[in-house]
Amino acid sequence: MKANNQGKIQLRKWKTLSKETLLSANTHLTVENHEILLPDGKIIPDWTWIITPNVVIVIAVTEDQNFLCFRQTKYAIEGITLAPVGGMIEQHEDALSAAQRELFEETGYSSEEWVKLGSYVLDPNRGIATINLFLATNSKQAALPDASQKDLEDQQLLFLSRDEIQKALFNGEFKAIQWTAAVSLALDYLSK
């Protein structure tokens, strides 16, 4: 590391020397082996890199200030969890369009008021996916949920008050870190 003229340390990035695909299971998973050159000159010949589609997570608030979320099961989660609307971004689709589509497909709700809460890499050393977080306010029911787009998991749509969603958040009822972050950021944004 080198200090620049303001006394800050200049950080150097890792460099990819080569890539090899180890597994290309389907459109949802690719595993690669990368040969990496570290800033100190050391080479790591077998750095696993994982590629999955980027996703959106939507915290939707209705006109009467209820938060839409699901009580559901997930294959990798023990028991029941709460989860916001979310899904994969399709090819040639931007994150906001995917968020709007997912909200409509999963709940039948739509919104004209969208706030981007940020984009975050799920695993900073292994890649995996970028998660795009959104807040949709004044959401209105425009149709019934699209039954043909039903997720694989059993789920129940809930309408939670601000107090109820905050209590669920603090009680650990959102059992995936990306959902916890999305709810936390949305509540923080709404409190300003």
**Which pLDDT belongs to residue 4?**
59
CA distances from 57 to 13, 24, 28, 38, 154 (A): 29, 25, 17, 33, 18
Does position 1 have pLDDT exceeding 60, yes or no?
A: no
Domain 55-190: which CATH number of 3.20.20.100, 3.20.20.70, 3.90.79.10, 3.40.50.12780:
3.90.79.10
The predicted model gives 159-172 an average pLDDT of 98
Residue 178 has phi, psi (to 5 degrees) of -65, -35
To which H or E segment does residue 81 belong? strand 77-83
pTM of the entire structure?
0.90
Per residue in 87-109, pLDDT (tens digit) is: 999 989 999 999 999 999 999 99
State CA 76 to chain mean position distance.
16
**Which pLDDT belongs to residue 184?**
98
Residue entry with tokens 């995996």 = 128
Task: Count Cα neighbours of 49 within 13 Å in the Cβ-side half-sphere.
Answer: 16
Per residue in 97-142, pLDDT (tens digit) is: 999 999 999 999 999 999 999 999 999 999 899 999 999 999 999 9
In the chain, what are the domain boundaries?
9-51, 55-190
Does residue 5 or residue 80 have the better pLDDT? 80
3-state class (DSSP) for residue 39: coil
